[in-house]
Structure 1
Amino acid sequence: MKQRITTYALFAAGWILLLTAAPTAHFAAWNLLIQLAIFIPVVAIPAWRTGRMSSVDIAWPLGLAAIGIQTFIFAESLTPLTITVGACYTVIGARMGIWGIRMWRRGEFDHELPRYVYQRRRWERAGFRSERVSLQFEISVQALANATFLAMPAILISTNHSTRLAAVECLAILLWLIAYGLESLSDLQKSRFAAAAIASDNRTSICDVGLWRYSRHPNYFFQWTQWVALTILAVPSAVALHDRVSVAQVALFILGLGLAVYLMYNTLVVYTGAVPAEYYSVRKRPAYAEYQKTVNRFVPGRRRSI
């Protein structure tokens, strides 16, 4: 319970920071309302009725796309920088949202996805007795992340009036493009491998091709790298607010950007990413344990010999 209270307090602090700074308040207030308008009907109400939260895989990315669209609306000036960050959020969210909708249409949400089944193990170990309450907590955490720290790069950049891109901003955009391309490539490689495995009736084989030879989860790594790029992209905008907000607020904004990177790392590795996925992979695929010994879990690197 203490951990849950701390989590809520952290998100509350992030939202208060955005709300109490005049340049970010309007965007932040609307974004919270829009995230709630997405999460409540798409996942919170269905989860209360069905006991499943898998539709959060639709709500969360749609919330990111909504942040991108809001950037075009609430940006103080439509500049190359604000247009770029709005497009990045919209593309990230739309891509994952469309995939989530496809899964829903195929009936994959009729049963809880394994990563959310795994959450029940955590609730049991933590001593939480009400599954309904735990479901709503997990859903609210993802909604609040979209309302605060994950929206912070877009909200800060929306205050930037500069019509010229700084060198660091150009490098951040290039990093985002490369990471997005490599995430898409890794997903394509995995999809083709899975299709071939099904065609050959070899469903226990290990995807060990392309980028998957160097990371057990290259799609997660390059998704996280996109958030690193967005954070770097937003730092100059945070610093540029020094004449409109206090120095302490600028420092807290930069800290908040760092928290966005940490939150995505924790999500993609521990929370709903690599750890839950590998818990089931080891049980379904006997050779996966050997794959774990030879290939890095997250950051791509040289294969190890055993």
Structure 2
Amino acid sequence: MTPLAVCLVLCAVITAATWILSVVTREYSWVDRIWSIAPVAYVWVFAVASGYDARLVLMAVLVSAWGARLTFNFARKGGYRPGGEDYRWAVLRERMPRPAFAAFNLFFISIYQNALILLFCLPALTVFDSARPALGPWDLVVSIVFLAFLVGETVADEQQWRFHEWKAAERAAGRTPSPGFLQTGLFRVSRHPNFFFEQAQWWVFYAFAVVATGVWLHWSIAGAVLLTLLFMGSTVFTEWISRSRYPDYDAYRARTSAIVPWFPRRGAEVTATTDRTAASG
């Protein structure tokens, strides 16, 4: 079997397993639980099938580092424990009729997301099918940028973890945490810095296909594009929930970049507060 065929079979098995488990357990985060694991397997399939081509091994090692970090962060938040479902699925279930959510679970959560996971790994296929030139300076540059984004996401997740630990301690002490959402550190320059760094790593991963072929545009860029679109939708939904929970979230949105880290906008908070007051009046 070709490495692509192996990955397709593996993807089909994972898709079926995550859907069946979601139906049996009525928890809908099974794809989340394999999100950081499946890409490692897919890229290593190509690396092994290539006879351990240096570039593909490098790509597999970088994805393994990405996967180890994400798996650790997901595990410490309780994602692998029973009941460790993403809170957004519960919110969505309340807003959708049961048959509609069942279809959403099958076609979007299970099938589409598993297909997307494989798709954003397929720059490895472009490299596998290339002439496989020797590693060069641009491979080093791409690797350094990938690792820089990996460090950025690690910092963002650590800041978020410590904030939620503080919130839990405040509630345990009988106090109401204030502020209710993180606004400092990397979250001062981006409302979702972890989203930014996650997407950026897979765009950089695609850059290996460019380096290996000398061609800027390949069909395997589709994975990074669709991942970005997924995060755009996730951001809108996540922020809708945050705005419903925290009255001051609109002021934070007004002054802080949504995804790409950037300088906070001065004076925007006052405008947002005024607009919200006028709308409620």
Task: Report the TM-score range of the alignment, normalised by the length of the smaller protein.
Answer: 0.7 to 0.9
Q: Structure 1 residue 204: deviation in Å?
A: 5.0
Note if 1:179 corresponds to 2:149. yes
C-alpha deviations, 1:171-196, integer Å up to 9, x for none? 21111011001010111111112222
Give the distance between the partners of 1:53 and 1:155, measured in 2 at CA: 30
Equivalent residue, structure 1, for 2:262? 301
SS of corresponding position for 2:35: helix
Give the distance between the partners of 2:12 and 2:170, measured in 1 at CA: 44
Q: Structure 1 residue 274: deviation in Å?
A: 1.6
C-alpha deviations, 1:238-297, integer Å up to 9, x for none? 458xxxxxxxxxx9xx34233222112112221xx3222211111222221111111011
The answer as to whether partners of 2:116 and 2:227 remain within 8 angstroms in 1 is no
Note if 1:31 corresponds to 2:7. yes
C-alpha deviations, 1:203-225, integer Å up to 9, x for none? 45221221111000001101111
Equivalent residue, structure 2, for 1:97? 71
- State the aligned residue count: 260
The answer as to whether partners of 2:46 and 2:124 remain within 8 angstroms in 1 is yes
Give the distance between the partners of 2:223 and 2:199, measured in 1 at CA: 10
Q: Structure 1 residue 40: deviation in Å?
A: 2.2
Moved more, 160-169 or 57-66: 160-169
Note if 1:168 corresponds to 2:142. no
SS of corresponding position for 1:262: helix
SS of corresponding position for 2:37: helix
Q: Structure 1 residue 230: deviation in Å?
A: 0.6
Note if 1:141 corresponds to 2:102. no
Relative to the length of structure 2, the TM-score reads 0.82
Q: Structure 1 residue 93: deviation in Å?
A: 2.7
- Of residues 48, 54, 57, the one that matches 1:73 is 48
- Of residues 118, 121, 124, the one that matches 1:154 is 124
- Of residues 48, 65, 75, the one that matches 2:23 is 48
The answer as to whether partners of 1:204 and 1:285 remain within 8 angstroms in 2 is no
Note if 1:278 corresponds to 2:239. yes
C-alpha deviations, 1:67-109, integer Å up to 9, x for none? 13313321x2424311110112222233333444552444443
CA gap of 1:90–1:37, structure 2 versus 1, over 3 A, is farther
Equivalent residue, structure 2, for 1:3? none
Equivalent residue, structure 2, for 1:215? 190
SS of corresponding position for 1:282: helix
The answer as to whether partners of 1:57 and 1:97 remain within 8 angstroms in 2 is no
Show structure 2 runs of 5+ residues with no match: 269-281
Query: How many percent of aligned residue pairs carry the same amino acid?
Result: 21
The answer as to whether partners of 2:152 and 2:197 remain within 8 angstroms in 1 is yes
CA gap of 1:72–1:225, structure 2 versus 1, over 3 A, is same
Give the distance between the partners of 2:214 and 2:3, measured in 1 at CA: 18
Equivalent residue, structure 2, for 1:232? 207
- Of residues 128, 146, 167, the one that matches 1:197 is 167
